Amino acid sequence: MAPLHVLVYQSQASRPLDASDLDILLLDARINNELANVTGVLLYGDHQFVQYLEGTRADVEQIYARITRASQHQRLEILEQGRLEARRFQRWHMGFSDAPQSVVQQLSQAQWQRDAPWLEDDAASSPGLMRLLAFWNEQAILSR
């Protein structure tokens, strides 16, 4: 089995997006991610996105290339990319949550690069991933 790869980026909405804009976007994203076997989560708050993608490197890069072409956002900035030991969002072809500004800010400013990439537990060595998982688990009941 090909090794797993993770990519996390942040971006700014290029215009205000309402619930139906997000639903259309997510429907499209989920179909594609399922075909590519890419999983992850997307958070949106205060006109900012943070998205976490996991899958094989080729699949994640193909999806990210598509994401960079979307008109709904701009100023994409990669926060982390690299090897991943195990999927964290196995069940989510793209989980979604509205997030408070404070959470999106914390995630975009967190350290994502792992101090000890040789450790098996990615979460324990990446404060950004730890924060994302904590938020996601608190949100157990999901809006979309």
Instruction: Give the whole-angstrom CA distance, residue 114 versus residue 117.
Output: 5
Taking the complex as a whole, how short is the minimal distance between the CB of residue 74 and ligand FMN, in angstroms? 9
Instruction: Give the whole-angstrom CA distance, residue 121 versus residue 137.
Output: 17
Closest CA to 51 of 34, 68, 36: 68
Judged by DSSP in three states, 73 sits in strand
Taking the complex as a whole, how short is the minimal distance between the CB of residue 64 and ligand FMN, in angstroms? 8
- Told to check if 87 binds ligand FMN by CB under 6 A, we report no
User: Which residue in the set 28, 34, 46, 121 belongs to the binding site for ligand FMN (CB under 6 A)?
Assistant: 28
Q: Report the amino acid identity of residue 51.
A: Q
Nearer to ligand FMN, 12 or 115 (CB): 12
Positions that interact with ligand FMN (CB under 6 A): 25, 28-29, 32-33, 42, 49, 51, 63, 66-67, 70-73, 94
